[in-house]
Amino acid sequence: MSPTRKSIVYIISAPSGSGKSTLVNELLRLVPGLDFSISYTTRLPRGSEQNGKQYHFVSREEFEQMIRDDEFLEHASVYGTNYYGTARRFLREAEQKGNDLLLDIDVQGAAQIKQKLPQAISIFVLPPDRKTLEWRLRKRGEDSDETIHRRLDAARREIENYDKYDYILINDKLEESSDSLQAIVLSERLQRSGAPISAEDKKVVELADRHRLANIRQRVPPILESFGNLPPSAHL
Ligand code: ADP
Ligand code: 5GP
């Protein structure tokens, strides 16, 4: 019998500018057997983006037809203007290849996936604080002042959802964050494989565990406060 196993679905969400694309690109370069789900969107391509690479760029009519044909695992209207969606076929294709699948989607999409696929692993990337996020958005040099302020305001709202995720990655030092993200992916694979865990593997699992919500949540309140949000205890 061939050793088939279900694909692990990893969800990664983050406010724009946190460093998610940088981390995802590193992860896909370094970890074999991980497919990236290329979302469909009705927004226009930015800068050097190419159709079929970062996104499948489609019209509103095409997107709405895909919704009617039930082609999406999840879809959402992000920032209230454009549709974004994850096509079911990416999961089918990953499964056929015996690969895992990475979804880069927003908070609403993550909630929909978690409902449909409770075994999916969700990771939220946080910036170290608001000032750093603003600096990274400016450094990228793609956005106007107005867009940067809009993104910072969206970030303030998005980060409130951190506690709906399995793992939190505070992207301070890039190399450390990249190692931790790889550890999360590998640790979940190890644990689902049921194979005995070597001493080397144990280090990977320990590194991943440091980023589990329960183990890292005490580091989040100062980040929320830097965005002007109330600390979590104030919501009780
Ligand atoms: P996102 O995909 O979350 O919008 P990017 O990956 O485009 O963010 O990163 C935004 C900017 O921040 C880029 O210029 C990137 O090189 C930089 N960056 C990402 N992570 C770090 C980090 N840990 N330290 C410093 N700069 C970073
Ligand atoms: P951007 O337009 O900056 O590329 O992405 C805006 C937001 O849309 C990001 O938070 C990104 O994670 C999210 N996004 C991208 N693809 C999808 C998708 O297929 N579904 C959902 N729900 N969100 C997505």
CATH topology for 9-37+99-228 is Rossmann fold (3.40.50)
Q: Which residues contact 4 (CB under 8 A, 6 or more apart)?
A: 98
Residues 22-63: tens digit of each pLDDT: 999 999 999 999 999 999 999 999 888 999 999 999 999 999
> Which residue, by CA, sits nearest to atom 15 of ligand 2?
105
Ligand 2 pocket, mutate which of 106, 133, 161, 164 (most atoms under 8 A from CB) = 106
What are the start-end ranges of the H helices in the chain? 20-30, 60-68, 88-97, 107-116, 130-140, 145-158, 174-193, 199-209, 213-216, 221-226
Residues 53-112: tens digit of each pLDDT: 999 999 999 999 999 999 999 999 987 789 999 999 999 999 999 999 999 999 999 999
Give CA–CA dist 74/40, Å, rounded.
11
Residue boundaries of the structural domains of the chain: 9-37+99-228
Identify whether the C-beta of residue 122 lies closer than 8 Å to the C-beta of residue 108.
Answer: no
> Which residue, by CA, sits nearest to atom 27 of ligand 1?
19
Q: Which residues contact 96 (CB under 8 A, 6 or more apart)?
A: none
Looking only at the bridges linking them, the beta strands covering 100-104 and 56-57 are unpaired
The b-or-e profile of 102-117 (16+ CB within 10 A means b, else e) is bbbbbbbbbbbbbeeb
Ligand 2, residue 86: give the atom nearest the CA.
19
Overall pTM surpassing 0.85 (yes/no) = yes
